[in-house]
Amino acid sequence: VRLYDNSSSGNAYKVRLLLALLGVECERVEMDIDAGATRTPRFLAMNPNGRIPLLELDDGRHLAESNAILCYLADGTPWLPVERWARAKALQWMFFEQYSHEPYIAVSRYILTHLAADSPRRAELERLAPRGVAALEVMDRHLATADWFAGDAHSVADIALYAYTHVAGEGGFDLAPHRHVRAWLARCAARPGHVPIDGG
């Protein structure tokens, strides 16, 4: 498989992290997202939504959306629960990640780390911050009584949520008040095969 990737992207890191945990080799194509590399006609022919991560199978098919890629790659492995309830719970948290977490925590980080200090988009941070904190509080409440997000094992749901939570500080979020989240981050990072976001 080939991964259209960007080393600073948490969405792409989800895929790199799962591949590392699975021990699967993958060709990476680094895309300069700030220069519009995912908006060229050639890229849009592969993903009309113009975004990475994008997985290319050996037969030439393309799959976009980080959490869909996780489910595809994890199918048949312990990272995608087979049991009906645990699998639905994994999906619950992955949809939560995309609707209630990533749009606030990842976007704040993007504004602070990719855009100029005088970017007009800095004005968005004030609106994003309380929503990001709310997502961290939801996670903390879940993790007060559970080690993992779906079932009783590390799964694609944990990988999806780990990606932007562990770098939430770069988006201006303080993890100090969320002690269950911090303990869970440490459990995730201790998994055999774990790789850092910028780790090759």
Ligand X SMILES: N[C@@H](CCC(=O)N[C@@H](CS)C(=O)NCC(=O)O)C(=O)O
Closest to ligand X by CB, 2 vs 187, is 2
Closest to ligand X by CB, 113 vs 177, is 113
Q: Is the peptide bond before 120 cis (omega within 30 degrees of 0)?
A: no
d(CA 157, CA 123): 31
Residues numbered 16-35 forming contacts with ligand X, rule: CB under 6 A:
33
Residues numbered 125-184 forming contacts with ligand X, rule: CB under 6 A:
none
53 Cβ neighbours under 8 A, 6+ residues apart: 3, 4, 5, 9, 11, 12, 14, 15, 64, 66, 69
Q: Residue 5 — φ and ψ, nearest 5°?
A: -140, 170
27, β-bridge pairs? 2
Q: How far is the CB of 145 from ligand X (least distance, A)?
A: 28
Residues numbered 61-90 forming contacts with ligand X, rule: CB under 6 A:
65-67
Closest to ligand X by CB, 103 vs 187, is 103
Residues numbered 44-63 forming contacts with ligand X, rule: CB under 6 A:
50-53
Site membership for ligand X, residue 9 (CB under 6 A): yes
Q: Which residues bind ligand X (CB under 6 A)?
A: 6, 9, 11, 33, 38-39, 50-53, 65-67, 98
